[in-house]
Chains A and B, each alone.
Chain A
């Protein structure tokens, strides 16, 4: 579904991604871990099309289409979704109106008619329950005055509403207490199916206790330096990242 080949990217003249290779297939759950500042959010941003990043080398293919040539909204309509690490607040844009606009633009792209008010409401109710997203937040301005946890839940709620094929979750677990973490994880697990794929970016092993990954990648200094299974996450939890960094430096000095 998604193929990333030798991806290099920079922001404000600073090299951030330095040759990422990654293959993601339908039905898979990938976790990306790594110390702060290693480039995880940057990778997510480049995939979603944030234009402050410049891709200097490499390719990204999504279902056979060149993702890097698409505008951010086209990527979303093709089925790529990014749950932001820091969702923005947009005063004056109601959550409901925003979602309706987004959903209908995606539907129009797929040649589907706009949802009728009643159907939209029904869908909204159903997905709200999935992540226990309080309905009084629906009529408020987008993320305005939401707590950290509410913002993250809103991201997953949007994910459920828009139903993309590939979802990238950037540190969705940070800012969530243990109950919220469980609710959000359950929501994500219910959305899993054979046609979809997930990329979970996280710092901590604890999320991966609820959402079991098929692959765990370690991103460090703009490269994936190790790929393993869920046991790798446990090992990282115990030993930290230093041993990996040392191995890397040893390899490089050879």
Chain B
């Protein structure tokens, strides 16, 4: 599903837009341990985390994850937003828990016909 539509239907607040208006999300990954994310998250995932420091942008970049969603209102600070903008990584935030966000994502990707 196109990221913009997913974000709208998941009720996410946008912090950094994707550079690609047709940015496709194929699946999702939830995790806060960075090496586990690198080991297990598939490319083109929507990554849901409560980590909000600079290193998450680098993790998303090397792992080919084009979008990070900060759960539980974990709003990153300006340098992180700046780094994501430069790296072309989309950022969103939501007050919902990772469990709740993953549930919404899963429902949209896997139970609704396109």
Q: Bound pair: A and B? A: no
